[in-house]
Amino acid sequence: MGKILKYTLYDLLRSRSLLFYFGFYLLFTFGLFWLSGDLQKVLVSLMNVVLVLVPLIATMFGVMYYYNSREFTELLLALPLPRRDIFLGQYAGLAGSMALALLLGVGVPFLLYGLAASALVGQFLLLLGAGVVLTFIFSGMAFFIALRNDNRIRGFGLAILVWLLFAVAYDGALLLALALLRDYPLEKFALGASLFNPIDLSRILIMLKLDVAALMGFTGAVFRKFLGTGLGSLVAAAVLLLWVLGPLGAIRMVAEKKDF
């Protein structure tokens, strides 16, 4: 797996799309600092962009990479390598290169603007950590969808649908449910529901560490009471880990049985 990961990284780190992705974060973060020198404000603005854009780009890139490298994958499959190594290596290379672009694109401006000396290091690392985890989750789901669907249009459609579900539709449905059932105590339901959406869970985890958490009202207090504790953080981390491992297991299972 290590060798496939190495060569996938080698290829992708030189791809124009990835350089563009890195350049976007770099310019965007510098732009935010130029508009407002306040680290906290930049962090909040960045959070809103990262939590939507990272899953979207990871999804698109994941599907595109699989379909574009299909013929090369066939060449690899004819080499004396187990299928598991080929697909997990490609996935790790894909997600790893995108995560690296995010880390450098956002990290470099923060370091230059004096993050190390500020009290916001923890929050910043949490934002980057969430971005990296979301990259792995959504590129994994996209890779799995592409692996299952030989029809590219269907694969792209399904992958975008999954992103739409987690980034937009899930919140809408949740809000509707909360509004319709407002006469009932829904705090635990809201807490439970947030665990099933990695984007929501990441957003809550970051917001709890920022001053804006006060805006979340009573539900925010419930979140803070649970996720603010050691056990809560552990549960959140475990759930996010499951979100990474789920697509990984699915990729492995499909790859073993698929015809190429």
Partner 1 sequence: MIAIHNLNKSFGRLGVLKGIDCCFDQGGTISAILGPNGSGKTTLIKSILGMVLPDSGRIEVFGRDIRRQHSYRDRISYLPQIARFPENLRVHELIAMVQDLHKRPGRPEPLIHRFGLEPWLDKPLGTLSGGTRQKVNLVLAFMYDNPILILDEPTAGLDPVAIIRLKEMLEEARAAGKIILLTTHIMSLVEDLADEVVFLLDGQVRFRDSVAALKAAFDAASVERAIASLLLQNGHASSGMQAGAPVSEPSKC
Which residues ranging from 220 to 259 are in contact with partner 1 (CB under 8 A)? Answer: 257, 259
C-alpha 87 chain-centroid distance = 19
Site membership for partner 1, residue 147 (CB under 8 A): no
- Cβ proximity to partner 1: between 96 and 198 the closer is 96
Least distance to partner 1, CB of residue 103, Å = 20
Is residue 3 at the binding interface for partner 1, with CB under 8 A as the rule?
yes
Q: Does 78 bind partner 1 (CB under 8 A)?
A: yes
Binding to partner 1 (CB under 8 A) within 14-73 occurs at 14-15, 69-72
Using the minimum distance from each CB to partner 1, give the nearer residue, 6 or 188. 6
Count of residues that bind partner 1 according to CB under 8 A:
26
Which of 1, 77, 100, 213 is in the footprint of partner 1 by CB under 8 A? 77
Residue 157 sits at the vertex; the CA angle it makes with 240 and 84, to the nearest 5 degrees, is: 55
Binding site for partner 1 (CB under 8 A): 3-4, 7-8, 10-12, 14-15, 69-72, 74-83, 257, 259-260
